[in-house]
Amino acid sequence: MRLTRYFLPVVRETPADAQIVSHKLMLRAGLIRQTAAGIYAWLPLGHRVLRNIERIVREEQDKAGAVEMLMPTIQPADLWRQSGRYDAYGPEMLRFPDRKGSEMLYGPTNEEMITQIFLGSVKSYRDLPRTLYHIQWKFRDEVRPRFGIMRGREFLMKDAYSFDLDEAGLKASYAAMFVAYLRTFARLGLQAVPVRAPTGPIGGDLSHEFHILADTGESALFYDAALEDVSRDELLAADASTIARLTGLYAMEEEEHAKVADCPVPADRLRSRRGIEVGHIFAFGTKYSESMGLSVQAADGSQVHPQMGSYGIGVSRLMGAIIEASHDDQGIVWPAAVAPFQVGLINMRADDGSCASAADEIYGRLREAGVATLYDDRDERGGAKFATMDLIGLPWQLIVGPKGLEKGVVELKRRAGGEREELSVESALARLAA
RNA sequence: CGGGGAGUGGCGCAGCCCGGUAGCGCAUCUGCUUUGGGAGCAGAGGGUCGCAGGUUCGAAUCCUGUCUCCCCGACCA
């Protein structure tokens, strides 16, 4: 993508409304634009990152055996009356009438809807187990939206729902999602701490939250220091034994921790830090299958309410968490897995014909090689270009200028760490294509 | 919802107390000079000061109401 054709409104001064570093950087780097409290437009660069995060989440869901679908954002109130949550949910749910006066709502979650859909199609235990998911916009009219997209009112969420015949099946489905979550966060370059959670309004008896450790997190956590020692490789290869090990280690939110009479973790191993909740999984059993009237016929001919679970990941919130975890004084440092472009190609002298044509040619070859490249072909000073590239945090910067071309080299710089080296065009391209 | 703060060109701010018809920096546009880490000079465009009402000869400045946004707390991906 040529920067002279792109829409990248970077800002030098930090907008006054932003408090935390990820929010400031998202605004400065032209990723998002606020529309109302807790409601944001995703600008082209931010949208690319969002799609990358979404892709990784999707791949891991698919790998875990979940099946993707898409449910609507708008739901009828009657659906929620069946489960009893229409009244229970409170003002956080955005409600409004349609033109006929029918009561509608903008979905804050989809347990009722998926159960309803399932009910219409599944009658036999032979169709179990199933896990369905979608990645869809949610709206929760938060009392206090804040920190940019971290606590938005409208946000993108991956929510999955599992249906099993019995509790053992539910546990297996829950474990499969647990593993998928560990892998997902690890792939995103994040270290997530699973925390035993109280089950709250969704109900049920088994639940874990996944927190990214960050000073700007909204939750206060207490946990065993051993949780920090889990390696990324181990998480990427997570399996049932990983879950057993992790859930065996103490981790609680402050409120729950306060209720624990004597904490099993020795004082020198007990850590207290803040966390950003990026995922939450629940096994809630038959709560919705009963209230919504979903049952299947078992092998012995009896009718059984399926055991259900639901599993959420805050896809848009993850972007904030990633930036909180990966930035420096100059700007964002994207993990390659989610970077909006892999390479920032800088033409040092757009007014210099031979330099420009050399850069143009390199751009063409990067495109042919399938390397996502943002080509700064603007007629700007080098400093401004470097500052922009550092701010938007692409993993690589490839610098093409007259001085290098005289020596037959271009400069390749890594954003994280800042190492740079001079290479021939051929070897630079080979490096980037790899 | 309770407590605090703020709304003035695209962004960041000053002016408001002591009413007199809007200013600074950045950004933008033009020209010239520059060009390997956010350039310099000269010039230009862009706001009627969140909105409504009131006081006054006169309101960004005073009064009343209202809307919006941000921060702290109780809730959540």
Least confident of A97-101, A164-168, A426-430: A97-101
**Spacing of A194 CA from B76 C1' in Å:** 17
| Residue pair A221/A269 in contact by the 8 Å Cβ criterion | no
**Spacing of A289 CA from B25 C1' in Å:** 62
**Spacing of A278 CA from B77 C1' in Å:** 6
pLDDT in tens, A398-409: 999 999 999 999
Tokens representing residue A201 in the block: 């309004």
A316 CB-near residues (< 8 Å, 6+ apart): A50, A149, A152, A155, A156, A157
**Spacing of A143 CA from B2 C1' in Å:** 12
Mean pLDDT for the stretch of residues A224-243:
94
Residue in the block written with tokens 């159960």: A115
Distance in angstroms (rounded) separating the CA atoms of residues A275 and A218:
6
pLDDT in tens, A412-427: 999 999 999 999 999 9
- DSSP 8-state symbol, A89: S
Name the 3-class secondary structure at A289: helix
Is 60 exceeded by the pLDDT of residue A202?
Answer: no
**Spacing of A279 CA from B77 C1' in Å:** 6
Nearest-nucleotide field for A385 (CA, C1'): B38
Q: Which of A199, A311, A331, A312 is nearest to A253 (CA)?
A: A199
Residue in the block written with tokens 């994207």: A334
Nearest-nucleotide field for A109 (CA, C1'): B77
Mean pLDDT for the stretch of residues A138-163:
94
pLDDT in tens, A314-323: 999 999 999 9
Distance in angstroms (rounded) separating the CA atoms of residues A200 and A228:
27
Return the amino acid letter for A211. H
Task: Outline where DSSP puts E strands in A386-432.
Answer: 396-400, 410-414, 420-423
Residue A95 backbone dihedrals phi, psi, to 5 degrees: -115, 145
The pLDDT confidence band at residue A81, using thresholds 50, 70 and 90, is: very high
The whole model's pTM is what?
0.96
Is 80 exceeded by the pLDDT of residue A355?
Answer: yes
Nearest-nucleotide field for A351 (CA, C1'): B35
Is 90 exceeded by the pLDDT of residue A154?
Answer: yes
pLDDT in tens, A243-299: 999 999 999 888 888 888 788 899 899 999 999 999 999 999 999 999 999 999 999
Give Rg (Cα) of chain A. Answer: 24
Q: List the nucleotides on chain B closer than 7 A to a protein CB.
A: 1-2, 11-13, 25-27, 34-39, 68-77
Return the amino acid letter for A143. V
The pLDDT confidence band at residue A90, using thresholds 50, 70 and 90, is: confident
Mean pLDDT for the stretch of residues A357-385:
97
**Spacing of A22 CA from B51 C1' in Å:** 33
Tell me what pLDDT residue A57 has. 98
Tell me what pLDDT residue A204 has. 55
In degrees to the nearest 10, what's the CA dihedral of A251, A257, A259, A263?
Answer: 70
Q: Facing residues of A280 across strands?
A: A209, A312
Which amino acid residue lies closest to nucleotide B74, measuring CA to C1'? A143
**Spacing of A37 CA from B70 C1' in Å:** 9
**Spacing of A18 CA from B55 C1' in Å:** 38
Is 60 exceeded by the pLDDT of residue A200?
Answer: no
CB atoms within 10 A of CB A35: 10
Helices marked H in A260-297: 287-291
Distance in angstroms (rounded) separating the CA atoms of residues A285 and A308:
5
A92 CB-near residues (< 8 Å, 6+ apart): A108, A140, A141, A142, A143
What is the distance, to the nearest Å, from the Cα of residue A365 to the centroid of all Cα atoms in its chain?
32
DSSP of A52-80: HHHHHHHHHHHHTT-EE----SEEEHHHH
Tell me what pLDDT residue A255 has. 83
pLDDT in tens, A59-73: 999 999 999 999 999
Is 80 exceeded by the pLDDT of residue A139?
Answer: yes
Nearest-nucleotide field for A149 (CA, C1'): B77
Tell me what pLDDT residue A180 has. 97
Distance in angstroms (rounded) separating the CA atoms of residues A322 and A341:
16
| Residue pair A298/A185 in contact by the 8 Å Cβ criterion | no
What is the distance, to the nearest Å, from the Cα of residue A84 to the centroid of all Cα atoms in its chain?
30
Distance in angstroms (rounded) separating the CA atoms of residues A111 and A132:
11
Question: CA angle, A72 as apex, A68 and A77 as ends, to 5°?
Answer: 130
Is 70 exceeded by the pLDDT of residue A201?
Answer: no
Average confidence score pLDDT of chain A: 94
* Cβ contacts of A255-258, under 8 Å, gap ≥ 24: A255/A198, A256/A196, A256/A197, A256/A198, A257/A222
| Residue pair A111/A288 in contact by the 8 Å Cβ criterion | yes
Backbone angle region of A204, left / alpha / beta, with phi > 0 → left and psi within -120 to 50 → alpha = left
Tell me what pLDDT residue A319 has. 97
Helices then strands (H, E): number in chain A?
A: 15, 23
Mean pLDDT for the stretch of residues A358-375:
98
